[in-house]
Structure 1
């Protein structure tokens, strides 16, 4: 059943077909890495990771089951590992260029939370998460991210003392640290602030674009992730328009 209310199924069918074509082109290029410059190999792998994660978002909005996304999670980890391999092989003059793909800037921070939320909802193994958190690294920089990592098995990880992006994620931290009876109100407050805080993010306002497939849905996967990891009662915010409830409840 369609989960998104701003596009119809035909739109998502066409968007997924389009992104599958893009994924196939990237895979074809990476099948012959010797024909790419070192930075191109790393960038191509990172591009594939982005495409695969976007594909999962399109599929979620269309109403696909989480089971149907498991092969995407396998591929996402594979190409993230490939990205790391090619980054490690960069010549000295290009070594600094890896930072644009590996640091937790606002977009990467959000995308990594999305990846973890899909993996957790789909029942990824402890080994999968161990590999994921080793690849993402950035230990001790963000208290929400670090706490999630520790809960999912990265137990030796140092925990940061602040959130990297206070707007809007301080509200999410407030919800996690609040008393149980206050959490629904604070989670709603966080999600209310989430979309406006993404005004400079690439997905903002994409539902108004009519000449491409830039819109994949407005889902606050971070909210589903903390609900799953910290076992929050979401009955007070389950119907929020940005909340991807199916990741938590499997419906």
Structure 2
């Protein structure tokens, strides 16, 4: 059943078809271009990560069962490994370019939470999660991300002392640390603040775009991730418009 209310099933069918074609073309580009310079290969691999993540979101909005995401989660890990492989091959004068793909900027921070939310919901193995945390790295920089990582098995990871992006993620940390009876109110408060705080993010206001597949849905996968990892009772915020409840409940 369609989960998103701003687009119809045909839109998501076409969007997913587009992403599949794009992925095939980019893989062919990597496999047939000889020689392919490391910088181009790194950027292409990063693009494959992004489009695969987009595909997961399109499928969620369309109403696909979460278990169908497993193969694409495997692909996403593979593409991220490719990205690191080619980044390590960059000549010294080009090493600065890897930073934009590997540091936890606001967009990559959110995307990493989204990746984790799908992985945890789909029952990712400890081996998968271990590789994911190795690839993301950025240890000890963000208390929220580090605490999630430790809870998911990265037990030797140093834990940061602050939230990298206090607006809006301090509210999510506040909810996590609050007493049980206060958590629903704080989770709702976080999700209310989440979309406005993403005003500079590429997905913001994309429901108004009609000439491409820029819109994948407005889902706060971060809220689902924290709920899953820390086993929160979401009955008080399950119906929030930005909450991807099916990731938690398999609906």
Q: In the alignment, which residue of structure 2 is the partner of 1:122?
A: 122
**Partners of 1:230 and 1:73 in 2: how far apart?**
22
> Residue deviations 1:86-119, cap 9 Å, x none?
0001011111110010000000000000000000
**Partners of 1:80 and 1:216 in 2: how far apart?**
21
CA positional deviation for 1:34: 3.3
Of stretches 85-94 and 28-37 in structure 1, the one that deviates more from structure 2 is 28-37
Q: TM-score, normalised by structure 2?
A: 0.99
Distance 1:33 1:151, change over 3 A: farther
Q: In the alignment, which residue of structure 1 is the partner of 2:21?
A: 21
CA positional deviation for 1:19: 1.1
**Partners of 1:34 and 1:51 in 2: how far apart?**
23
Alignment partner of 1:43 is 2:31: no
CA positional deviation for 1:33: 5.3
8 Å Cα contact 1:33-1:41 kept in structure 2: no
Q: In the alignment, which residue of structure 1 is the partner of 2:7?
A: 7
- Secondary structure of the 1:155 match is coil
Distance 1:33 1:226, change over 3 A: farther
Q: In the alignment, which residue of structure 2 is the partner of 1:142?
A: 142
Q: In the alignment, which residue of structure 2 is the partner of 1:170?
A: 170
Root-mean-square deviation (CA, aligned residues, Å) is: 0.7
> Residue deviations 1:59-106, cap 9 Å, x none?
000000111111100000001001000000101111111001000000
8 Å Cα contact 1:4-1:217 kept in structure 2: yes
Structure 1 gap ranges (5+): none
**Partners of 1:110 and 1:248 in 2: how far apart?**
18
CA positional deviation for 1:31: 1.3
**Partners of 1:68 and 1:166 in 2: how far apart?**
34
Distance 1:93 1:64, change over 3 A: same
- Secondary structure of the 1:72 match is helix
Q: TM-score, normalised by structure 1?
A: 0.99
**Partners of 1:32 and 1:11 in 2: how far apart?**
32
Runs in 1 of length 4+ with deviation above 6 angstroms? none
**Partners of 2:151 and 2:127 in 1: how far apart?**
14
> Residue deviations 1:17-44, cap 9 Å, x none?
1111111111111113533222001000
**Partners of 2:92 and 2:169 in 1: how far apart?**
36
How many positions carry a matched residue from both structures? 251
Q: In the alignment, which residue of structure 1 is the partner of 2:101?
A: 101
**Partners of 1:178 and 1:68 in 2: how far apart?**
34
**Partners of 2:89 and 2:16 in 1: how far apart?**
32
8 Å Cα contact 1:81-1:135 kept in structure 2: yes
> Residue deviations 1:113-162, cap 9 Å, x none?
00000000000000000000000000000000000000111000000010
**Partners of 2:168 and 2:34 in 1: how far apart?**
43
